Chain A
Amino acid sequence: MRVTFTVNGREESADDVWEGESLLYVLRERLGLPGSKNACEQGECGSCTVYLDGTPVCACLVAAGQAQGRRVRTVEGLAEGGRLDPVQEAFMECGAVQCGFCTPGLLVQAHDLLSRVARPSDAEIREALAGNLCRCTGYEKILDAVRLAAERKADPARGEAGA
């Protein structure tokens, strides 16, 4: 079947999509967007987190056909105007990335948190990221990065200084 939806602001179509195929597979294998990672394929790890109509979901659990006519935003679509999002910058600066496999999902999920809660508490950060597994670092650097990104988003002057 053919599936057409908006990805990072552009309308895209994929042909010969198998009816049981996931949105994740379509993104990675048919649309050339390998940012969202395929790890557990059962919603356990959060590595494939994308926005679907503005809501973070595991792309591995969305049937491709369910994305028909909808808006998807992946990690590739977080940067705007050629500039990384403050969440992405903070992850790099804080050393919140090791192997990088969990990073795209964490970025999207943290991006969503900060769009809803300007100054999240540590408990709120932990709860928001509870479905994103990192097996390299432990989570301290990731928490540092989310706190830093929150500060910068709330006070863009600090973002300029740090960039």
Chain B
Amino acid sequence: MDFLRPTTWREALAAKAERPGALPLQGGTDVMVEINFDVRRPEALLDLTGVAELREWSVAGGVCRLGAGVTYATVIDELGGALPGLAQAARTVGSPQIRNRGTVGGNLGAASPAGDSHPPLLAAGAAVEVESRERGIRTIPADAFYLGVKRSALEPDELIRAVRVPVAAGPQYFSKVGTRNAMVIAVCSFALALHPQERRVGTGIGSAAPTPLRAPEAEDFLSGELDWDAGGPSPSGRPAKGLDAGLLRRFGELCAAAAAPIDDVRGTAAYRRHAVAVMARRTLTWAWDDHRGRRAA
């Protein structure tokens, strides 16, 4: 095994072009587990922690560009306002030690269906910026990035450079089922984002299908049914009502129907489907309450 240590992005792309079998390494919270347990023996490790630019984030034109080396701890400390859904998910990752090392870019690279970043990225409409030395930059929408269990659209000579996430223009929530509040791989998870300016709802389901996925039918249904104008700032604006029980139930059913869970050690398919519906209703209730508060304010 070789240990490759680029210090610039150009060097990193060159290394990946010349050694497509090299396994990118950031915080090591997935990769090192596989190496410690002899599950994986890549021909080389490509340590990206020496590429300083990957640890940076910036906001421009309403989009937050998060370098692939930004840790969960940084998301929590610095991006709770711009990316509330992702920050909420980041707070549920592992433990403080894991959040100090683990990165959103690494979560994308591993592409586990249970990764906590994926649902909020899907709900927010994020896109993954990948690059190769030969073909340059591609921007892949999150919902086209995940292809299968731990498989993504990333080509062998490409590296993830950043993820672009629209800055939240409405409430976002994340919910996750597990056996305790720390060190839990999600039994299943759910993220919801309201995009009031576009009168649209975003969803993301985790650990309830071979890939993280959206629930498009549920999104369309809810986008059309929500009374987006209610509780507006004008004196004549009608007071925003709470959500109708039938609407909540239907939204939960459509989200559960979008999932394709399996039975495994963490839970049964039936439990996961049920839990997705419950989390969909809960996150929608939290988000709509916030939305009504904002509109009334």
Residues of chain A at the chain B interface (Cβ within 8 Å):
1, 18-20, 22, 41-44, 46, 49, 55-58, 60-63, 65-66, 68, 109, 127-128, 130-132
* Binary flags per residue of B1-29, CB closer than 8 Å to A gives 1, else 0: 11101000000000000000000010111
A66 & B28 in contact (Cβ 8 Å cutoff): yes
Residues on A with C-beta less than 8 A from B182 are: 127, 130-131
8 Å CB contact of A18 from B1, B32, B37, B101: B1
* Binary flags per residue of B133-159, CB closer than 8 Å to A gives 1, else 0: 000000000000000000000000000
8 Å CB contact of A22 from B29, B36, B47: B36
Q: In the complex, which residues 22-63 of chain B have their Cβ closer than 8 Å to any Cβ of chain A? A: 25, 27-29, 32-33, 35-37, 41, 44-45, 47, 49
B35 to chain A, nearest CB (A): 5
B97 & A56 in contact (Cβ 8 Å cutoff): yes
B94 & A68 in contact (Cβ 8 Å cutoff): no
Q: Does any Cβ of A come within 8 Å of B183's Cβ?
A: yes
Seed contacts A63-B35, A127-B96; 15 additional CB < 8 Å A-B pairs: A1-B3, A20-B45, A42-B36, A43-B29, A56-B100, A58-B98, A60-B32, A62-B28, A62-B32, A63-B32, A66-B25, A68-B5, A109-B96, A131-B95, A131-B183
CA distance in complex: A158, B28 (Å): 41
B33 & A43 in contact (Cβ 8 Å cutoff): yes
Q: Does any Cβ of A come within 8 Å of B181's Cβ?
A: yes
B44 to chain A, nearest CB (A): 8
A152 to chain B, nearest CB (A): 23
CA distance in complex: A43, B245 (Å): 42
10 contacts between A and B (CB under 8 A): A42-B37, A43-B29, A56-B96, A57-B97, A61-B29, A61-B98, A62-B28, A63-B25, A130-B96, A131-B98
Chain B residue at smallest Cβ distance from A45: B183
CA distance in complex: A14, B201 (Å): 54
8 Å CB contact of A128 from B35, B41, B96: B96
CA distance in complex: A34, B110 (Å): 31
Q: In the complex, which residues 64-114 of chain B have their Cβ closer than 8 Å to any Cβ of chain A? A: 94-98, 100-101
Chain A residue at smallest Cβ distance from B28: A61
B32 & A130 in contact (Cβ 8 Å cutoff): no
A62 & B37 in contact (Cβ 8 Å cutoff): no
Residues of chain B at the chain A interface (Cβ within 8 Å):
1-3, 5, 25, 27-29, 32-33, 35-37, 41, 44-45, 47, 49, 94-98, 100-101, 181-183
CA distance in complex: A55, B73 (Å): 11
B1 & A63 in contact (Cβ 8 Å cutoff): no
Residues on A with C-beta less than 8 A from B5 are: 65, 68
Residues on B with C-beta less than 8 A from A60 are: 32, 36
Residues on B with C-beta less than 8 A from A56 are: 96-97, 100
Residues on A with C-beta less than 8 A from B27 are: 61
8 Å CB contact of B37 from A41, A57, A63: A41
Residues on A with C-beta less than 8 A from B37 are: 41-42
B108 to chain A, nearest CB (A): 18
Interface-centre pick from B5, B37, B44, B96 (highest chain A CB count, 10 A): B96
Take A66-B47, A66-B49 as given contacts and tell me if A61 and B33 are in contact as well, using a CB distance cutoff of 8 Å: yes
A46 & B28 in contact (Cβ 8 Å cutoff): no
Residues on A with C-beta less than 8 A from B2 are: 19
CA distance in complex: A1, B5 (Å): 12
A49 & B45 in contact (Cβ 8 Å cutoff): no
